[in-house]
Structure 1
C-alpha cells in the first residue's frame, strides 16, 4: 500500500466515523432528554444540523471505496 493510498484510507475513515459518533451522541442525548419543551427544541435543531454531516460521511465512504479500487488495480 502506498503512502497516498494510506492517506485516502485515513481520510475516509475519519470522515466516516466522526459524523457517525456525533449522530450516536445525538441519539443518546435525545433518548435521555427530559420532556421539557426548550430541551426538545434544542435537540431538534441539533438533529437537523447533524443531518448535514451525512455529506462528509458519504464522501468518506467514497474515499474508502476509491482507495480499495486503487489498491486492487496495483496488484
Structure 2
C-alpha cells in the first residue's frame, strides 16, 4: 500500500527516486536488510509511476475519443 507521501509525489519525482534506488541496488555494497528496504521502496515508486502513466493514458484515450466524436458530428452536418 502506498503512503500519503507517495500519493503526493509527481511522476518525475517518483521516477527520479526510482532511478536512484535502482542505481544503489546495482552498485551493491548494501546489507541484505538495506537491499530489501530499497527493493520495497522501488516497488512502491514503480506503483506511483504506473498510476501516473495509467492516468495519462486514460486522459489521452478520452481526448482521442472526443476528437473522433467531434469529427463524426462535423462530417454528418
Q: With structure 1 as the length reference, what TM-score do the two structures score?
A: 0.55
Taking CA–CA contacts closer than 8 Å with sequence separation of 6 or more, which of the two structures ends up with the larger relative contact order? Answer: 1
The alignment's C-alpha RMSD in Å is 2.0
1:16 equivalent in structure 2: 18
The C-alpha deviation readout for 1:5-64, integer Å capped at 9, x for no partner, is xx62212212321111111111xx5xxxxxxxxxxxxx6xx2432221112101111111
Name stretches of at least 5 consecutive residues in structure 1 with no aligned partner: 1-6, 30-42
Instruction: Kindly tell me the number of residue pairs found equivalent between the two proteins.
Output: 52
**Greater radius of gyration (CA):** 2
Give the alignment's TM-score, normalised by structure 2. 0.54
Q: 1:59 aligns with which of 44, 47, 50?
A: 44
